[in-house]
Amino acid sequence: MKRRNFLKTIPIAVGGMTVNAYGASPMLNALTAGLIETDHVLVIVQLSGGNDGLNTVIPLDQYSALSKLRSNLLIDESKVLKLSGTDGKTGLNPGMTRFAEMWDDGKLSIIQGVGYPNFNFSHFRATDIMMTGSDADEFLNSGWTGRYLNYEYPNFPVGYPNATMPHPLAIRVGGSVGLGLQNMGVNMAISLNNTNDPLDLTGSIFKDPANDTISAGKELLYIREVQRQTDVFGDVVQAAGNVGKNLSSLYPTGTAPGAALANALKIVAKLIDGGLKSRIYWVSTGGFDTHSDQVNANDTSTGTHATLLQGVSDAIYAFMDDIKLLGKEDRVAGMTFSEFGRRILANGSGGTDHGAAQPMFVFGKKIVPGMVGENPTIDPNSTVNTNLPMQYDFRSVYASVLKDWFCVPEPDLDTIMLQNFQTLPILDPSDCKTTSTHQLNNNAGENLISAYPNPFVETTRIKFESKGGHTMVQVFTGEGILIQTLVDGSMNAGLYEIGCDLGNMPAGMYYIRLQNNAIQQVKMISKVR
């Protein structure tokens, strides 16, 4: 029996309530210790509103098609920050000069085309999906980081804090604890809401004794137990804040772009330097719902979106500079995400509407630098409903972080992520006891998946090559809706062929997608009448 399952079988009474854990004791301290010894810290930066990936990571090799589809938004090619090592094919928004420096320093990774099948375009539902790691039609009450923390620290909050883990498991800075940091309704993190006065956790509900004769007695006892923990956690957070330092002078301040995000990240750096063992910090910044006035008409390299991206770039760069000066660079990695991307075609209001796939950034000294995936191929006949094709499932990014940064073994990884998602080469796994076997391989020049005939009327044959291991072949509509999974399982290395029948689908553009471990390729196919 696994230790965390054993813990769940031990019933005791706390204040009249039966709970599956021991009270504070040396035995509990040993049993509730983290399953995996690591001092690694993950910083999650949420870009709320839905970031326009095509205006963030710009596919210069698709410039001609983009000029027809979003001419009122497209940045002058001479102003795009071309990324070294991409043969001039890829660049960043001109506001992201600091991210360009991180790229040149080997401290930035870009994952192209991150999404999931059957994308949801509601801000609220899409955010829940990205936070929980659920399928589009699946509703979960636990977040991906919440499940991970529950795996590491079973039966939280009972028995915490303790000698082994005296600190908060995770900290949300600048907002309330969201679904991503919850597990089965339990907050696995504490929240520091006011970034201008971040360490004020005063206030108590201990003034009146609980009355078990009233209907709310047991519930009130539980609330008081959580409040007790909050007070204790508040003390250790305050202590860490008192001794922690900020050494970087690069943080944006005042009215500069990114100042609010920088304030949150300054707190994170100070608490890490102050000695907190918290594994995850979650911060956010908003404004990315750019339906209108996304750029300045007289200079598309400037405007609302460029200012937002500058703020993210400057704040994260300053934070990583701080972490380096504090001597914590080997311990800290970060990632960005937004609830969705934007459509290929610009709208009539000088902006973009809700879309599907997006680029994600992973940053830090211990990341695997470079680009995972390829620039999306832009169909010049894209309509208002056309989305960027998914190259990588967002849960592959999460699984990679858990496996190669937090050293979660693969069998337990599937339990946390609820499915088997292929991992990607985005973080250096050398600090983990189990060495990762994946390799960065974009297979340039190799045609790993194709269809013949193409175009076709009803059926075509999909030819693909597997390098061995977990292999998946999927078919999507141009809107990003998954309509067929032709292959999903472990395969021997070799060449394969399988039929694809789209006889019941309308004529139009479709995508076929191959993922084989970290390798992926997406190709367009066309069904004609």
What tens digit of pLDDT does each residue of 90-130 get? 999 999 999 999 999 999 999 999 999 999 999 999 999 99
> 57 with 305: CB under 8 angstroms?
no
Which domain-ending residue is among 375, 401, 431? 431
Beta strands 57-59 and 90-92, pairing class? antiparallel
- Kindly indicate the confidence band of residue 487, based on its pLDDT and cuts at 50, 70 and 90: very high
Specify whether 466 is located in the same domain as 425.
no
Specify whether 404 is located in the same domain as 458.
no
Residue 376 domain-assigned?
yes
Per-residue pLDDT averaged across 193-202, rounded?
Answer: 54
Specify whether 191 is located in the same domain as 112.
yes
Per-residue pLDDT averaged across 292-302, rounded?
Answer: 97
| Counted domains in the chain | 2
Residue 485, domain extent: 449-527
| β-strand partners of 372 | 111
What tens digit of pLDDT does each residue of 350-372 get? 999 999 999 999 999 999 999 99
pTM (predicted TM-score): 0.81
Q: Which contacts of 229-232 are long-range, i.e. CB under 8 A and separated by 24 or more positions?
A: 229/157, 229/160, 229/161, 230/190, 230/201, 231/201, 231/204, 232/161
Length, in residues, of the chain: 529
What tens digit of pLDDT does each residue of 25-70 get? 443 344 444 456 789 999 999 999 999 999 999 999 999 999 999 9
529: burial class by Cβ within 10 Å (0-12, 13-18, 19+)? exposed
Specify whether 390 is located in the same domain as 522.
no
Per-residue pLDDT averaged across 310-333, rounded?
Answer: 98
DSSP-derived 3-state class of residue 141:
coil
Distance between CA atoms of residues 59 and 422, nearest Å: 25
Specify whether 515 is located in the same domain as 382.
no
Residue 164 has pLDDT above 60, yes or no: yes
Residue 440 domain-assigned?
no
Residue 8 has pLDDT above 60, yes or no: no
Whole-number pLDDT of residue 23: 34
Site of tokens 């100070």:
270
> 94 with 307: CB under 8 angstroms?
no
> 188 with 179: CB under 8 angstroms?
no
Distance between CA atoms of residues 84 and 65, nearest Å: 23
Which residue would you say has higher pLDDT here, 56 or 528? Answer: 56
Specify whether 377 is located in the same domain as 427.
yes
Beta strands 81-82 and 90-92, pairing class? antiparallel
Q: What percent of the chain has pLDDT over 70?
A: 83
Specify whether 421 is located in the same domain as 474.
no
What tens digit of pLDDT does each residue of 236-277 get? 888 999 999 999 999 999 999 999 999 999 999 999 999 999
Per-residue pLDDT averaged across 376-380, rounded?
Answer: 93
> 148 with 168: CB under 8 angstroms?
no
Residue 196 has pLDDT above 70, yes or no: no
Specify whether 475 is located in the same domain as 385.
no
- Residue 240's closest CA among 463, 41, 436? 41
Residue 260 domain-assigned?
yes
Specify whether 160 is located in the same domain as 274.
yes
Mean of the per-residue pLDDT values of the chain: 86
Non-local (6+) Cβ contacts of 8 within 8 A are 20, 154, 155
- The runs of H, that is alpha helices, within 274-384 are 304-325
- Kindly indicate the confidence band of residue 478, based on its pLDDT and cuts at 50, 70 and 90: confident
What tens digit of pLDDT does each residue of 407-446 get? 999 888 988 999 999 999 999 999 986 444 444 444 545 7
CATH of residue 507: 2.60.40.1930
Specify whether 380 is located in the same domain as 518.
no
Site of tokens 């994308």:
119
Which residue would you say has higher pLDDT here, 154 or 48? Answer: 48
Residue 398 domain-assigned?
yes
Specify whether 460 is located in the same domain as 424.
no
Residue 56 domain-assigned?
yes
Residue 26 domain-assigned?
yes
Whole-number pLDDT of residue 216: 56
